Structures are given as C-alpha cells and as structure tokens.
Structure 1
Amino acid sequence: MWKTALKPRWIAGFIFAIAVSGVFVLLSQWQFGRSTSPEMPVNPDTEKVQPLTDTLQPGEFFHGSDADQMVSATGTYDPAKQVLVPGRLHDGKTGYWVVSAFAVDGAPTLTGSAASPRTWIPVARGWVADADEATAPPSGPVQVTGRLLPSEAPVAGKAANPGEATAVSVAELINDWEISSYPGFVAATAEVAGGADVSAAAVPGNLLPLEIGPQPPAQQINWLNLFYSLEWVVFAGFAFFIWWRLVKDDYHRDLEDALDHAEPHEPEQQPGATRQPEHTEQKVQP
C-alpha cells in the first residue's frame, strides 16, 4: 500500500490534507480562545480615584463591585499598629508586606461595646525583603491613595509571629489592634504628607512599592465555542482519513487489475465450428 501512497498524485494529496488540517487546527485554536474570553473588559472607572468614604462603608459587606477601585482618604497612621505579612513575592523574591493601621477622617463610627472612637482601615504601604528594613509610617496628616481590595482570609492553623500577621485579614487585624475597621484594605500608591509624596513609589529605599494592578476579570466558558473548537479538530483528522481512504481504494483497484491480468483465458471458439471428438487407438489383441 505504501507503493500506492508514494504515487505523485497521492503525495500531492497528502500535502493538501496537511494544509487543510492546519487551517482546521488554527480555526480550532481561535474558537477555543473565544470560549474562554473574559466576561467583561477591565472597567476603566476603577482607575478613577474616588473618596473612600463614598465608596465603602464600615460595618457592611465588601461588595465585589468595589474591588480594585482606586480610592483616597485623609487621616493619620498609628506607628504602634503596624504588622508584617510574610511570604509575599516581589520580582521573584520572598519578603514582607508592611501593613499599617490608618484612621480615616470623616469615616462613620461604629457602635457597640468593642467599637473604637475612630474607624480605621489597613494600608499595605510596601514590600521589604527583610523584617528589619520595615520603616514606620509617616506622621501627621496623610492623604493616602491606593487600590481598594477585599480582606484576605487568615491562614488556618498557623499562629503569627510577634509583630506579624498571617494575611491582610481584617478579622485578624482588628483583634490585634482592637479597632473598628472597614471590611477591606488599601494597597497604597501614594502617601502625601506635608505636600510631598513620601510613599514607597516616590522615595527610594528598602520599602518597595507593591504595584498591584486591577485583577483580571472573571472568565466565562462559552460552551458553544468550545464545541466548535473540538469540531474543527475532528475535521482536521477527517482530512487525513479521506486521503487514506482514497489511497486504499486506489490500492485495491491496482490489486484487481493485477489479478485480471494474471488469470489464464481459454481460446475463443470460432462461430459454427464443431469440436471434434477425441479418438483413442485401441490395440487388438491377437
């Protein structure tokens, strides 16, 4: 059968099948890419800085629509309320997030026996490679600008070392700091004190900026496009199947022709001729 497949026309047919199947594979990849396309593009409104007090309210659930929103707030840091969150990566290196408590001016105050006179929000001010490199937050009135993020879940079954927290978890931090807090935290991009930006992004030093961008939007699987992508793969295989089937049919035709030429044929009898009976001589015994 290989002899048949090596005929020039079938070699050309095989090249054509490769080209057709390649087009089908590309179409399959395109359909697969569309099947996992983002549910919606990144919302440009999240990059517009909004007042924190107008975006999120303390004592309420953190709404998903508030995540990644750039916010700003004025207030003061408490240097005694600062923790390090270990196990954070920056340019491939493992280090610490420096998280400080920030009292928000104009924020609603919560009521209750455990409520504090002021409402706070954790601010992730930057990243350090070593715990000893963490610096105190700026003093005095500060205007903080950054990305609003939901509270992280505390690491279960792990006790934090002194001066550390297992995660940027509001539930864990308010117990440590004994404060009332917003249900989220801010990854700072700017800290303006005395008219100058003193954040990690503006002042060179061991404290490096976090540079947290908007989170990728949720992806939704389009099952129809996914089915089409699988369908194109089947078509790609079918192109080779058709080529193989045509070669096989040609091979069987060659076998039939070879058998027809190999079979012996009896000589044809002329019309009207009669076949003479065969005579055998008999010996007469004396």
Structure 2
Amino acid sequence: MLRPQWLGMLALSLIVAGVFAWLGQWQLGNAIDTSPPPPGMTEEVRPLAEVAQPGEYLPEPLVGQRVETAGRWIPGDFIVVSARVNDGVEGYWVTGQLRLADTAEPTSVAVAVGWTADRATAEAAASALSEEAAADPDALVEISGRLISDEGPALPPPGADPEEITRMSPAALLSRWHDTEGLSVYRPYVTSWEALGGLDDISSPAPEEGGAVNWLNLFYAAEWAVFAGFAFYMWYRLARDAWEKEVEDLEDAAAS
C-alpha cells in the first residue's frame, strides 16, 4: 500500500473525497433555510411589480402570494380554460389579458376571472366580458388575487379538440391573444379574488407554509458523505486485493 502507484491513488481518492465533501456541505447549506419567510407572508396584499417581473419565473416562497394591480382588458382575449377543479368539482375558468397601466413598455398578465361547471356558461361569460371591454377599451380596472406559477402548455388528449386549453399557461394563451407586438408578459398568472361576469369565485386557499428544513437536500448531503467514504473504501479495497495477490504469488513460488 505504500508503493508509489498506491500513494498516487490515495492522493486521487483524497481529491475526489474532498469534492464530494464540498458538495455535501453545499447541499447541507441549502437544506436549512436560515431566514424562512415569515408566517402569513402570502396573505399580505402586495403590488404585482414588487413580487415578480415580466418573463421571470416565480420563486417558490412567493407562489400563492396575494397581489394587486390595475390595467385594462383587451377585447376578444377572454378565453376559456377547461379541466379546472373548484372545491372538488371539475369545470372551466374564464381568463383574460390584462394590459397593465403605468408600465414603460406594453406589459400584460393573464388573469383567471372566474369559474363555472358549465362550458356554455363559461363561453357566454367570455363573450359578454369581451363585449364589455370593447365598449370601453380604456376603462381602468383593479384586480386583486393570488399569483400562481405557470402550469406549462400541454397537448390535448387523443381525440380531443386540438384548440382546447386544459392547463393554465400564459404562454399558450399568448398564442391566442391580440395586440401582442412588442409585448412583455408575466410567466405566472393571477386568480382574481372576486369573480367577474356572473361566474363563481375561484377557490384559491392560502398555500401551505413549508418548514425551515428541506429534507430532500438533507438526503442529498448524506449521499455525498457516503460517496466520500466510498472513495476511500475503493482505494483500500483495490490496494488490499493487489497486496493479497502478491502474497499468494510469493507463497506459490515458495511452495514450488
């Protein structure tokens, strides 16, 4: 084990184990949040621009944050999204494009304005809201609700209407919106606190508050510690096997 090649292997094992130990320490640092968000933070109504910016992903602690903003509805951009569950009942959301006021460049956020269990009711509400917006396109409206992460677009199931939108994705809605040239769009969307167009309120309870310990990261930290120990074990096992083979060869030579 004290031969140059095995001492070189030991040095390599020390380097590998050091890298694993550093990764374990990094995971351990991420596993324990030393400054968790205060309880009830998501229930404090904050301006949308303070919580997120257009094009940015919503950080985990801010998912479900109550926000408020103001803007005008874009006529013709009230779209029905299906497969929306409200208090255990599947139905439909009506969503709209809210062009925000007081922004340096055109900026919009998708807003779910209400829920219904009936498609015909949802389509009628979407049509009525579009007509109302077209009648007064400059009307300023104030919206308060929860800010939720983009669910991501998805293909409809086989045999379904290819135009059907089953996931709340601003990216998918953007492809159907009007007046989008040079438009900045928020990745998350807002569920309105009060329903519009005669629809039912969207059930949007406060998100569960997480603990200060991320157990998955803690598990990863333990894994890296095991890997560091395994690097030493591999060196010891290889060196011992080589030594035992040499001893056997010497014994065979002596016996012959």
If the TM-score is normalised by the length of the shorter chain, which range does it land in?
0.5 to 0.7
The answer as to whether partners of 2:156 and 2:162 remain within 8 angstroms in 1 is no
Tell me whether 1:130 sits opposite 2:129 in the alignment.
Answer: no
Partner Cα separation in structure 2 for residue 67 and residue 85 of structure 1: 20
Offset of residue 162 of structure 1 = 7.4
Tell me whether 1:165 sits opposite 2:165 in the alignment.
Answer: yes
Alignment: residue pair count: 166
Tell me whether 1:212 sits opposite 2:204 in the alignment.
Answer: yes
Offset of residue 105 of structure 1 = 0.7
1:14 corresponds to which residue?
A: none
1:103 corresponds to which residue?
A: 99
Aligned residues with identical type, % of pairs = 30
2:149 corresponds to which residue?
A: 150
Q: Deviations over 1:161-190 (max 9, x none)?
A: 477422111221112215331111000003
Offset of residue 145 of structure 1 = 0.3
The answer as to whether partners of 1:58 and 1:108 remain within 8 angstroms in 2 is no
* TM score, norm. by length of structure 2: 0.56
Distance 1:73 1:162, change over 3 A: farther
Partner Cα separation in structure 1 for residue 59 and residue 187 of structure 2: 10
The answer as to whether partners of 1:42 and 1:217 remain within 8 angstroms in 2 is no
> Residue type of the partner of 2:203?
E
Give the aligned CA root-mean-square deviation in angstroms: 3.0
Q: How does 1:247-286 map to 2 (within 5 A)?
A: none
> Residue type of the partner of 1:184?
P
SS at 1:80's partner residue?
coil
Q: How does 1:178-217 map to 2 (within 5 A)?
A: 179=180, 180=183, 181-190=185-194, 199-200=195-196, 205=198, 207-217=199-209
* TM score, norm. by length of structure 1: 0.51
Higher relative contact order (CA 8 A, sep 6+): 2
Offset of residue 54 of structure 1 = 2.1
The answer as to whether partners of 2:83 and 2:167 remain within 8 angstroms in 1 is no
**Structure 2 unmatched runs, 5+:** 1-35, 134-138, 219-256
Offset of residue 156 of structure 1 = 3.6
- Tell me which protein shows more helix as a share of its residues: 2
Tell me whether 1:120 sits opposite 2:108 in the alignment.
Answer: yes
Offset of residue 157 of structure 1 = 5.5
Partner Cα separation in structure 2 for residue 98 and residue 162 of structure 1: 18
1:77 corresponds to which residue?
A: 73
Offset of residue 215 of structure 1 = 1.9
Higher gyration radius (CA): 1
Partner Cα separation in structure 1 for residue 210 and residue 173 of structure 2: 29
- Which stretch shows the higher mean deviation, 162-171 or 122-131? 162-171
**Structure 1 unmatched runs, 5+:** 1-39, 110-117, 191-198, 224-286
